């Protein structure tokens, strides 16, 4: 089916195909504009960076053109999202609607990372070997859950029970027998890949997209067309994938895969006892012992290396980061020794592999042993290479640092300072068409900051468009700033926040989300307000105090009067329409943490180029984050609410205008003492006055 601009317009028209399938459907000119621009790029080639505010309807706006382009060109379109939740929404909610538009002439599939799928052979092996109580409970859980997950993607439900046991049964390329596997025909991962290879649209997440890059493009179907939703997260995910990290936990997990009850070496020993004559068994047993001795030596050396890391960290601080490499401090010499000894484990595994192959005729399931031993050697080779990379710390385009957290272990990390060249070389150069979209990429209506960071320049320079929101923010929201409020860098700021929150909720008792930029301040405010507000029949919920993120959101949603205090992940990905959320408090302008090693390295890189890090990097990052937080409030045309920004720098500082110009509603300064009553009065007026809806605005081309 070839869709023209006219046909796209008809699909989204009142009384059109979407209106026939979606109850309460409203035509949005912004959605039509979005879909037309996406269709042009997917059909004709090129790049498009397109911001579309909440309410535009991005998902249908790119899924429909994606299906049309795939059918026209007979090639798959990959749609990549940041979260598995959006993956599932696209497949379970949007694709069935789109199928009504196109009929049954197209297919869509979702593909997750391989480690999300159960490996039937490894599961059967654990069933046969598992005798421990925790193993039995885990296996019963898997057996009970399998009927609910016919695709075999059990990772979330299984890992929540026992992550280490899930790692022993998850699909793993280093333990895959391929066609030699007795479960090859029913393999969940193989079936998922086959479905993806036959689909017009394949929905993945950013993590799998970059894993495909790291696996020489063997995970996803061959493609030249890509749509990236939630694109403001691409840089973070890419930075993680192109980076290196070594932790004590990673080392322990690799050791457990060798020597735990269900591990590789005990498995080899069990089969030796059953099948090999004594002389042959002794020869292979010697090889196993050599692996164990090398492993023990590596664990001793690596423990010694990690035990010296506190020498590089600030004295008396329980958590933080410290950079190393270049002109900074060097890692302890034990890390060089760790790399060498780690490679010895790999060598000993290679020796064991040779012995097993010598006696292959006498051993049952020898192919599985060969694959698992070879896979183990590959993993230890990768670990050795990562430790060596960190020890050498010689790549100037990388930043190297140690991360230490109270109650947790040290992590030694490195990542590219920028991912521009990686995106150009590994992603954009392989594509004919690419669309990057999000609700929050622009700064004061301009997309330059995003395109620079993505490496979208020169031959990769895209068309840039901002699609306005269909919401009437002048009617739906009021935004206030206490103009005389204490500076957030002052020691009295937390106490002032607590007092204003208490007064605000006394005057306007609405369901309230309070977003912080630091856990310490969140905890201080929580201690100050919880007793008072609970006495007024509020449910007071706080991140890190009352449960997991999902538990907090569920409790908040079901409570009649509630206040939720959150930071970090709560600034995005929360959808609480209507009366589920009416009051949003943004405590501080969300600037990047200044002592974060990556933030430091990027600022230094810009300064070396003669650019201004604060205005060209830190402010734009904070603006985008503020917009994400702001976007938690107004989710539907019928929503009403108030936003209170407690950081007076948005009005006082010279850079404040960049923030105010980036928000969709006018920011009003008031004396702090007046804000509670002004907000209360606004809600009363909003509840009794309908107000005129503004006319919808078309998309605007932005540089």
Digit-coded pLDDT (tens) for 146-203: 888 888 988 767 656 667 778 888 999 988 888 888 899 999 999 999 999 999 999 9
The per-residue pLDDT of the chain, averaged, comes to: 90
pLDDT at 30 over 50: yes
Pairing, β 398-404 against β 411-416: antiparallel
pLDDT of residue 142: 84
Q: Which of the four pLDDT bands, split at 50, 70 and 90, describes residue 605?
A: very high
Average pLDDT rounded to a whole number, residues 345-360: 88
Number of H helices, E strands in the chain: 30, 19
| Residues 258-273: b if buried by 16+ CB within 10 A, e if exposed | beeebbbbebbeebbe
Task: Measure Cα distances from 273 to 130, 276, 279, 634, 647 in Å.
Answer: 18, 6, 12, 67, 70
Average pLDDT rounded to a whole number, residues 650-663: 97
Q: What is the pTM of this model?
A: 0.91
Average pLDDT rounded to a whole number, residues 214-225: 93
CA separation for the pair 96, 559 (Å, rounded): 33
What is the distance, to the nearest Å, from the Cα of residue 92 to the centroid of all Cα atoms in its chain?
20
pLDDT at 372 over 50: yes
User: In 90-222, where does DSSP find H-type helix?
Assistant: 95-102, 120-129, 133-145, 155-159, 163-169, 188-197, 206-214
pLDDT of residue 163: 72
Strand partners, 482: 670
Q: Which of the four pLDDT bands, split at 50, 70 and 90, describes residue 405?
A: confident
Of the two residues 97 and 138, the one the predictor is more confident about is 97
Start-to-end C-alpha separation, the chain: 33
Of the two residues 282 and 346, the one the predictor is more confident about is 346
- At 434 the three-state DSSP class reads strand
Average pLDDT rounded to a whole number, residues 318-330: 83
User: In 631-699, where does DSSP find H-type helix?
Assistant: 649-652, 656-662, 675-688
Average pLDDT rounded to a whole number, residues 72-79: 95
Which tens digit of pLDDT belongs to each residue from 455-477? Answer: 998 888 999 999 999 999 999 99
Which tens digit of pLDDT belongs to each residue from 222-252? Answer: 999 999 999 999 999 999 999 999 999 999 9
Which tens digit of pLDDT belongs to each residue from 104-137? Answer: 788 999 999 999 999 998 888 888 775 666 677 8
pLDDT at 277 over 70: no
Query: Among 226, 184, 187, which Cα is nearest to 203's?
Result: 226
With 0-12 CB in 10 A as exposed, 13-18 as middle and 19+ as buried, what is 478? buried
Q: Which of the four pLDDT bands, split at 50, 70 and 90, describes residue 4?
A: low
Q: Which two tokens stand for residue 570?
A: 């709560």
pLDDT at 335 over 50: yes
- At 477 the three-state DSSP class reads strand
The torsion angles phi and psi of 562, rounded to 5 degrees, stand at -150, 150
pLDDT of residue 269: 83
């Amino acid at each position: 089916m070839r869709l023209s601009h006219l046909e796209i317009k008809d699909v989204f028209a009142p009384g059109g195909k979407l209106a026939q399938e979606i109850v309460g459907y409203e035509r949005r000119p912004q959605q039509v504009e979005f879909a037309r621009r996406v269709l042009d790029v997917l059909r004709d080639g090129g790049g498009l960076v397109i911001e579309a505010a909440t309410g535009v309807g991005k998902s249908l706006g790119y899924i429909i053109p994606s299906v049309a382009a795939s059918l026209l060109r007979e090639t798959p379109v990959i749609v990549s999202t940041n979260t598995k939740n959006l993956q599932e929404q696209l497949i379970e909610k949007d694709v069935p609607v789109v199928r009504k538009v196109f009929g049954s002439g197209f297919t869509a599939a979702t593909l997750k990372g391989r480690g999300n799928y159960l490996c039937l052979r490894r599961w059967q092996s654990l069933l046969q070997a598992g005798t421990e109580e925790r193993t039995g409970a885990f296996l019963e859980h898997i057996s009970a859950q399998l009927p609910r997950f016919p695709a075999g993607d059990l990772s979330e439900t299984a890992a929540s029970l026992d992550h280490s046991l899930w790692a022993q049964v998850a699909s793993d390329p280093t333990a895959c027998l391929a066609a030699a596997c007795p479960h090859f025909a029913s393999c969940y991962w193989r079936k998922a890949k086959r479905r993806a290879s036959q689909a017009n649209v394949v929905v993945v997440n950013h993590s799998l997209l970059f894993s495909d890059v790291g696996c020489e493009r063997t995970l996803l179907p061959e493609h030249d067309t890509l749509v990236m939703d939630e694109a403001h997260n691409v840089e973070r995910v890419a930075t993680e994938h192109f980076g290196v990290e070594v932790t004590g936990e990673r080392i322990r997990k690799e050791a457990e895969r060798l020597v735990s009850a269900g591990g590789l070496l005990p498995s080899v020993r069990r089969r030796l006892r059953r099948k090999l004559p004594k002389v042959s068994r002794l020869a292979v047993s010697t090889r196993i012992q050599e692996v164990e001795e090398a492993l023990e030596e590596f664990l001793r050396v690596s423990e010694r290396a990690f035990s010296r890391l506190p020498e590089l960290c600030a004295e008396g601080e329980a958590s933080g980061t410290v950079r190393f490499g270049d002109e900074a401090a060097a890692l302890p010499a034990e890390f060089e020794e760790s790399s060498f000894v780690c490679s010895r484990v790999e060598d000993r595994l290679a020796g064991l592999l040779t012995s097993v192959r010598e006696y292959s005729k006498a051993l049952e399931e020898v192919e599985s042993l060969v694959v698992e031993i070879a896979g183990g050697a590959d993993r230890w080779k990768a670990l050795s290479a990562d430790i060596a990379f960190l020890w050498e710390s010689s790549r100037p385009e990388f930043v190297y640092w140690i991360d230490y957290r109270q109650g947790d272990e040290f992590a030694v990390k490195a990542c590219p300072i920028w991912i521009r060249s990686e995106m150009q070389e590994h992603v954009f150069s392989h594509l004919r068409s690419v669309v990057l979209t999000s609700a929050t990429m622009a700064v004061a209506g301009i997309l330059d900051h995003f395109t620079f960071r993505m490496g979208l320049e020169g031959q990769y320079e895209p068309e840039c468009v901002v699609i306005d929101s269909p919401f009437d923010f002048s009617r739906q929201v009021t935004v206030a700033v206490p103009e005389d409020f204490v500076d957030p860098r002052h020691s009295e700021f937390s106490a002032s926040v607590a007092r204003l929150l208490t007064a605000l909720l006394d005057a306007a008792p609405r369901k309230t989300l309070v977003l912080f930029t630091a856990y310490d301040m969140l905890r201080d405010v929580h201690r100050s307000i919880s007793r008072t507000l609970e006495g007024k029949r509020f449910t007071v919920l706080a991140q890190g105090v009352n449960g997991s993120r999902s538990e907090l959101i569920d409790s908040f949603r079901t409570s009649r009067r509630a206040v939720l205090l959150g930071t970090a992940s709560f600034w995005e990905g929360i959808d609480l329409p209507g009366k589920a959320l009416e009051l949003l408090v943004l405590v501080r302008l969300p600037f990047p943490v200044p002592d974060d090693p990556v933030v430091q390295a990027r600022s230094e890189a810009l300064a070396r180029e003669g650019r201004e890090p604060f205005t060209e990097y830190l402010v734009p990052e904070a603006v985008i984050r503020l917009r994400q937080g702001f976007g938690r409030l107004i989710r539907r045309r019928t929503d009403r609410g108030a936003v209170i920004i407690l950081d007076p720098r948005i009005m006082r500082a010279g850079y404040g205008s960049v923030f105010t110009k980036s928000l969709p509603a006018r920011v009003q300064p008031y004396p702090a003492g007046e804000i509670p009553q002004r907000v209360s009065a606004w809600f009363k007026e909003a509840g009794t006055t309908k107000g005129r809806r503004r006319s919808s605005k078309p998309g605007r081309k932005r540089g």
